[in-house]
Amino acid sequence: MRALSSLALVAVILLGAAVPCQAAPPPGDVDGDCAITLVDLCLLYQMVLGLADPTPAADLNGDGAVNVADIVWFLKFAYPDAKGDTNGDGLIDRADYRYAERQVFSDAPDPDADLNNDGEVNVTDLVIMAKILEAIESGW
C-alpha cells in the first residue's frame, strides 16, 4: 500500500494532465485506460522483461514484437514529457540514476535531471529517480 501511494505521488508529479480518450485508446495506452501514464510504461517494461504477457497494444512501433524498441517509441512519441531518462538514451534504467547523481554534484547540472521541475537538481530529484526505478523494476 505504501509503495502504491508513493507511486501515485510520482505519477502525479510526472504526468500533469491525462490524455483525454477519444474513440480508441491513444497509441501507448498499454493498459487500455485511455490515459498515457507511468503505469503504461511500467506495464511495457514488464512485458519486455518477460514478467507479463505481451499484448498487441504494447507493440507500439508495429513490428510484430514487443521489445526494447517499443519502450524507446513510447518515450519518444507517446510520452515525450516523461522524466527519468536523464541521460537521454531513450531508456529509463540505473544508468539514469547514476547520471542524475553526478548532476547533483555538478556546477552546471543537466536540466533533464530536475525531475520535479523546481529548477534545482538535488537530492529530492534523486529520491524521485529512485522511486521511478523502483516502480519499473518492481513490476507494478
Contact residues toward Ca ion (CB under 5 A) are 29, 31, 33, 35, 40, 59, 61, 63, 65, 70, 85, 87, 89, 91, 96, 114, 116, 118, 120, 125
Sequential DSSP letters for 58-93: G-TT-SS--SHHHHHHIIIII-TT----TT-SS--S
Joined grid coordinates for residue 101: 547523481
Torsion of Cα atoms, 48 then 52 then 56 then 62, to 10°: 0
Joined grid coordinates for residue 23: 474513440
Our CB check for Ca ion shows the closer of 33 and 138 to be 33
- The least distance separating Ca ion from the CB of residue 119, rounded to whole angstroms, comes to 7
- The least distance separating Ca ion from the CB of residue 43, rounded to whole angstroms, comes to 8
Our CB check for Ca ion shows the closer of 125 and 135 to be 125
- The least distance separating Ca ion from the CB of residue 87, rounded to whole angstroms, comes to 4
